[in-house]
């Protein structure tokens, strides 16, 4: 499938929705009068942190794993990931009873490594850079022969992530703006895939940390700019766009907004306090950018995808 640049379609998303339904949760929407008042917008938070492995990535992972034929499945799956894709792919592989090999940066949060191992994933550690990650992965895949499920630049993964926006539209009676954090762009691409057909009038705005703003710079430049090893509190957003996600971002995203680490931490605290849910720093970036650009969102209905809730409780960002 990867030999050619296959771009997933709306039908692929609908097929994914049926395929993964038995294996994932239809996550709830949460609202907060306080946060609506604070931002001047009507915010609808889609709580993907309530998925069993704690992140939206179980959608794409389950679509890839349960889409394999039996012959391919015997060799299992393999990937590289800073955490959530690794744990979600391990979880989906566990449900299907097949092996999962994962390359993770040695700096990945311990909580995320523990989750991968709990679901039976085998971890090989690498240096915290894109180049080290890809080189280490090439060795692991050669040794295992597992089907490579890329964390985001995979049509099966993008189609799976697109099911989240479908649910969000059904649960909210529609929104004016859909927002998600952007790293490699899997969730944003899935959102573009779904909404460009289902509700093309909805603006799609991506949110990114200032200290890892390569997607925003790519968006402005008109071509992919990739940073090798950015550093930010939002550890799930350290990877660059790839060809497939760039296709969706460049064609369908309205804007990419950024927030500083301090603003991200403040937004994370606000959601813990007023939505009363656990979210990781990467998930707080959209709210941080809304608070920073209130005039842009005032009076609008905004769907905000909370992408994950896997945090190391012994290393909360405001205690470091």
State pLDDT tens for residues 56-74: 999 999 999 999 999 999 9
Alpha helices by DSSP H, listed for the chain, are 10-20, 33-39, 58-66, 70-74, 84-96, 110-118, 130-144, 155-172, 186-198, 214-221, 243-252, 261-274, 281-292, 294-297
Side by side, the strands of the sheet bearing 147-148 are 122-126, 100-105, 77-80, 147-148
- What is the chain's pLDDT, residue by residue, as a tens digit (320 residues)? 445 699 999 999 999 999 999 999 999 999 999 999 999 999 999 999 999 999 999 999 999 999 999 999 999 999 998 788 999 999 999 999 999 999 999 988 787 898 899 999 999 999 988 789 889 999 999 999 999 999 999 999 999 999 999 999 999 999 999 999 999 999 999 999 999 999 999 999 999 999 999 999 999 999 999 987 789 999 889 889 999 999 999 999 999 999 999 999 999 999 999 999 999 999 999 999 999 999 999 999 999 999 999 888 888 998 87
Enclosing H/E stretch for 235: none
pLDDT value for 25:
98
pLDDT value for 1:
47
Of the candidates 281, 181, 193, the residue with the CA atom closest to the CA atom of residue 245 = 193
pLDDT value for 153:
96
Domains of the chain: 10-55+155-319 (3.40.50.1100), 58-148 (3.40.50.1100)
* CA atoms within 13 Å, Cβ hemisphere of 4: 4
Rounded CA-CA distance 285/273 in Å is 16
CA angle 164, 209, 228 (to 5 degrees): 100
pTM of the predicted model, to two decimals? 0.95
Of the candidates 154, 153, 147, 103, the residue with the CA atom closest to the CA atom of residue 125 = 103
pLDDT value for 3:
52
């Amino acid at each position: 499938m990867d030999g050619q640049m296959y771009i997933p379609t709306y039908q692929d998303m609908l097929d994914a929705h049926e395929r993964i339904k038995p294996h994932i949760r239809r996550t709830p929407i949460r609202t907060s009068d306080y946060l609506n008042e604070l931002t001047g917008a009507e915010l609808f938070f889609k709580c993907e942190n309530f998925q069993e492995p704690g992140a939206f990535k179980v959608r794409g992972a389950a679509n890839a794993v349960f889409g394999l034929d039996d012959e391919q499945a015997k060799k299992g799956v393999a990937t590289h990931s800073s955490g959530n894709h690794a744990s979600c792919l391990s979880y989906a592989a566990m449900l299907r009873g097949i092996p999962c090999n994962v390359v993770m940066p040695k700096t990945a949060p311990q909580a995320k490594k523990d989750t991968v191992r709990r679901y039976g994933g085998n971890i090989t550690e690498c240096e915290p850079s894109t180049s080290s990650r890809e080189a280490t992965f090439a060795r692991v895949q050669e040794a295992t022969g597992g089907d490579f499920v890329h964390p985001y630049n995979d049509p099966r993964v993008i189609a799976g992530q697109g099911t989240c926006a479908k649910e969000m539209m059904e649960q909210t009676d529609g929104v004016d703006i859909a927002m998600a954090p952007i790293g490699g762009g899997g969730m944003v691409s899935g959102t573009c895939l779904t909404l460009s057909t289902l509700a093309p009038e909805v603006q799609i705005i991506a949110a990114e940390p200032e200290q890892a703003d390569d997607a925003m710079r790519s968006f402005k430049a008109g071509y992919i700019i990739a940073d090798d090893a950015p550093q930010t509190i939002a550890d799930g957003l350290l990877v660059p766009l790839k060809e497939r996600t760039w296709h969706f971002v460049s064609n369908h995203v309205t804007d990419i907004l950024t927030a500083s680490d301090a603003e991200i931490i403040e937004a994370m605290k606000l959601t813990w306090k007023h939505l009363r849910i656990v979210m990781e720093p990467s998930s707080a970036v959209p709210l941080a950018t809304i608070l920073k650009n209130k005039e842009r969102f005032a009076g609008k209905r905004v769907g905000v995808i909370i992408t994950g809730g896997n945090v190391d409780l012994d290393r909360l960002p405001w205690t470091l």
